[in-house]
């Protein structure tokens, strides 16, 4: 066969094979047998082997998985992949509806209801209709590039039906049948079984060898647009219809309603029907349909105000309380944990459940040896919801809360207005160990390679006693190599991560220090306000409470922490080790004179010259404050392309509006001044 004939046949085969892929994996109505499909694939493979220069990235032969990757690259999401707020009952859904209607006023509202697939959130990017990159959700801001693994999923189109550039969000999952088959094969090979389909799907997509992902029979449902160029869509339901038209697999079990009563009826129906689906779901997602209304509702720091995830009532199981273990956290709080006879619950084996504090044990009337009812709160955290006293045999025994710390032996105290017992010994090893675990966590200093087990080893070996000791570990490399499961590569990576953490902006350090009541957001506010750690350390109560987000209790906690000699010593050592103590984030320049200084500003629509985040940072740098909704307190609205209801509201209220050109002109004036 000559090259021209081969090229035509290859193109015809690709079109035919992808058509059958869609019929089988997306529409569930195959037209040919597996044998006939395999014959088409073999013919295409033979032709591509004969003419390798004709192989393209969107060919069906490229789904089989290439060579193993050394690691996953990081991907920054252009639009954050935020998590959803949760609803656990009818009243939560009605509260959500009330909040939506309070903002939208008399506007009619339509809700789209969809199944919440229990899998791994993914982002897919297409350029001119071709699949170019796929990533995990990660922390919502940054994910991992798993393009090669996603190419192996046949329900993901490698080429769209139209040459659009867009980004879509969806869920990769493992069907129940594929999960059962995989576990049966692992059992036959004597390998550990996967706990549930969600874990197995996530594990499959994070394999560095794409051929493993290709063998796992994963599937997808695409549920939203992240970015779309060249076309305009007015609503979420229109967006889902467009996704289907482009060749994506969109879940058919979705409905649009114009009132919350119908939404609740639909949700309740699926509570009963969920076991009969061929895939796992853990709830329902309810979204405001109109994109203009979504924009008007805006976002909180963690989630959109226009959507909510309804979690199904948790599964329950009966098991035996075999014991109660007491642990000490980083703040000294002593927490009892129930030790249970292992029981299967919501797809996982449950052996432990939180009891929170001594009062909970007393209120529930728990005895060691009791039969108890266990459920997963939100299908995540196991808890004991009831005791079955009628099953008692007389051999059950009461639990007595310790009076002394199980780690250091110091007497436990109950602080006024608190239910938890606490160890207040600053030298308690449990406080130090848990404090280091918090210090290295993702939201704090984000030091990879220092998990709980490694930190426990470091403590047992006497290599660390507090967070400052981490920065001396480079001098103890040989000792580190003596620890179990720590080879040269892992030790070097860990030391490199510790060294890199010195460059963090100071809000991570403030949060990592574990000051009571100071969360990640408060740490950022404090860092931006004071500029460095020294300013915060010497702040008065009046200065602290003068900040909007800082109340009297948090201020007292901050002052008490920095008054401790141990805290002062640790901070001095951190500084000596070269840990950054200055704020590196965006903050308004002191005394800045700009048209944005002191003003409350709303961004609406799409800016062609920069992302929303970049615009917000530039405004913040020039002294402005960006908010998500237009009100009488708004000073200025910046309107890009496809500006919607926010622009209309601003015009009605007589608020000044700038288009992108005028906005850029003001920025240019500031840059040149």
Residues marked active site are found at 116
Q: Which residues, other chains included, contact 667 with Cβ-Cβ below 8 Å and sequence gap of 6+? A: 618, 622
CB 307 within 8 A of CB 116: no
- Measured distance between the N- and C-terminal CA atoms of the chain, rounded to whole angstroms: 69
Q: Is 279 left (phi over 0), alpha (psi -120 to 50) or beta?
A: beta
75 Cα distance to chain centroid? 14
What does the DSSP 8-state code read for residue 238?
A: H
Tell me whether residue 148 is exposed, middle or buried, using C-beta atoms within 10 angstroms of its C-beta: 0 to 12, 13 to 18, 19 or more. Answer: buried
Q: For the chain, how big is the Rg over CA atoms in Å? A: 28
How would DSSP label each residue in 505-551?
-HHHHHHHTT-TT--HHHHHHHHHHHSBHHHHHT--HHHHHTSTT--
CB 502 within 8 A of CB 467: no
What six digits make up the tokens of 317?
């199981």
What six digits make up the tokens of 180?
């059962």
Question: What dihedral angle (degrees, nearest 10) is formed by the CA atoms of 507, 509, 514, 520?
Answer: 30
Helix (H) or strand (E) holding 180: helix 176-188
Q: Is the dihedral of CA 16, 22, 25, 28 positive or negative?
A: negative
| Helix ranges (DSSP H) in 365-470 | 429-439, 452-460
What is the maximal distance between C-alpha atoms in the chain? 88
Helix (H) or strand (E) holding 367: strand 367-368
The SS3 of residue 572 is helix
What is the Cα–Cα distance from 600 to 580, expressed in whole angstroms?
31
Q: Where are the beta strands (DSSP E) in 246-360?
A: 255-257, 281-288, 307-311, 316-328, 334-345, 348-354
Residues in the chain, total? 673
| Helix ranges (DSSP H) in 531-604 | 533-537, 541-545, 552-563, 565-576
Owner of token pair 């062609």: 608
Give ∠ CA 38-40-45 in degrees, rounded to 5: 90
Q: How far is CA 160 from CA 102, 190, 208, in A?
A: 40, 42, 27
What is the Cα–Cα distance from 114 to 283, expressed in whole angstroms?
9
């Amino acid at each position: 066969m000559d090259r021209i004939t081969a090229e035509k046949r290859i193109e015809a085969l690709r079109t035919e094979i992808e058509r059958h892929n869609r019929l089988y994996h997306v529409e569930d109505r195959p037209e040919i047998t597996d044998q006939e499909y395999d014959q088409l694939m073999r013919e295409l493979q033979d032709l591509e082997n004969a003419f390798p220069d004709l192989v393209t990235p969107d060919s069906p032969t490229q789904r089989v998985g290439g060579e193993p990757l050394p690691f996953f690259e990081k991907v920054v999401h252009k639009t954050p992949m935020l998590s959803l707020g949760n609803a656990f009952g009818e009243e939560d859904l009605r509260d959500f509806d009330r909040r939506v209607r309070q903002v939208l006023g008399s506007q009619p509202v339509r809700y789209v209801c969809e199944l919440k697939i229990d899998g791994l959130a993914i982002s897919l990017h297409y350029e001119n209709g071709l699949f170019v990159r796929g990533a995990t959700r990660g922390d919502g801001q940054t994910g991992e590039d798993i393009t090669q693994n996603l190419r192996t999923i046949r329900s993901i189109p490698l080429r769209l039906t139209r040459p659009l550039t867009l980004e879509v969000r969806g869920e990769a999952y493992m069907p129940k049948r594929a999960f059962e088959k995989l576990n049966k094969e692992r059992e036959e090979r004597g390998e550990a079984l996967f706990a549930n389909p969600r874990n197995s799907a996530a594990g499959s997509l994070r394999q560095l060898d794409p051929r493993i992902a290709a063998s796992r029979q994963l599937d997808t449902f695409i549920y939203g647009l992240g970015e779309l160029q060249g076309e305009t869509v007015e609503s979420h339901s229109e967006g889902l219809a467009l996704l289907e038209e482009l060749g994506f697999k969109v879940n058919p079990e979705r409905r649009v309603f114009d009132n919350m009563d119908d939404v609740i009826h639909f949700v309740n129906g699926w509570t009963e029907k969920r076991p009969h689906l061929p895939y796992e779901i853990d709830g329902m997602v309810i979204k405001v349909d109109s994109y203009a209304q979504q924009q008007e509702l805006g976002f909180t720091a963690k989630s959109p105000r226009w959507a909510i995830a309804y979690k199904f009532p948790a599964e329950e199981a009966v098991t035996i309380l075999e014991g109660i273990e007491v642990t000490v956290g980083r703040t000294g709080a002593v927490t009892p944990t129930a030790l249970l006879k292992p029981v299967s619950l919501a797809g996982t084996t449950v052996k432990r459940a939180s009891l929170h504090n001594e009062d909970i044990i007393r209120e529930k009337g728990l005895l060691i040896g009791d039969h108890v009812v266990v459920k997963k709160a939100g299908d995540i955290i196991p808890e004991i919801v009831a005791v079955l006293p009628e099953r008692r045999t007389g051999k059950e025994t009461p639990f007595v809360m310790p009076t002394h710390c199980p780690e250091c032996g110091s007497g436990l105290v109950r602080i006024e207005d608190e239910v938890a017992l606490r160890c207040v010994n600053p030298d308690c090893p449990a406080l130090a160990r848990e404090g280091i675990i918090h210090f290295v966590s993702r939201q704090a200093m984000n030091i990879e390679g220092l998990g709980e087990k490694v930190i426990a080893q470091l403590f047992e070996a006497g290599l660390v006693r507090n967070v400052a000791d981490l920065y001396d570990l480079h001098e103890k490399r040989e000792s580190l190599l003596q620890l179990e499961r720590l080879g040269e590569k892992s030790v070097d990576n860990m030391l490199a991560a510790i060294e890199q953490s010195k460059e963090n902006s100071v809000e991570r350090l403030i949060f990592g220090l574990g000051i009571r009541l100071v969360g990640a957001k408060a740490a950022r506010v404090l860092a931006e306000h004071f500029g460095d750690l020294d300013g915060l350390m010497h702040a008065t109560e009046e200065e602290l409470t003068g900040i909007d987000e800082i109340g009297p209790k948090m201020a007292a906690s901050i002052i008490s922490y920095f008054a401790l000699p141990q805290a002062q010593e640790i901070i001095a050592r951190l500084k000596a080790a070269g840990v950054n103590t200055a704020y590196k984030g965006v903050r308004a320049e002191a005394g800045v004179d700009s048209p944005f200084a002191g003003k409350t500003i709303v961004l609406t629509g799409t800016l062609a010259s920069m992302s929303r985040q970049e615009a917000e940072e530039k405004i913040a740098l020039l002294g402005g404050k960006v908010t998500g909704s237009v009100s009488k307190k708004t000073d200025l609205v910046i309107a890009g392309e496809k500006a919607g209801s926010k622009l209309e509201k601003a015009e009605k209220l007589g608020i000044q509006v700038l288009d992108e050109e005028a906005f850029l002109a003001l920025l240019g004036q500031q840059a040149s001044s």
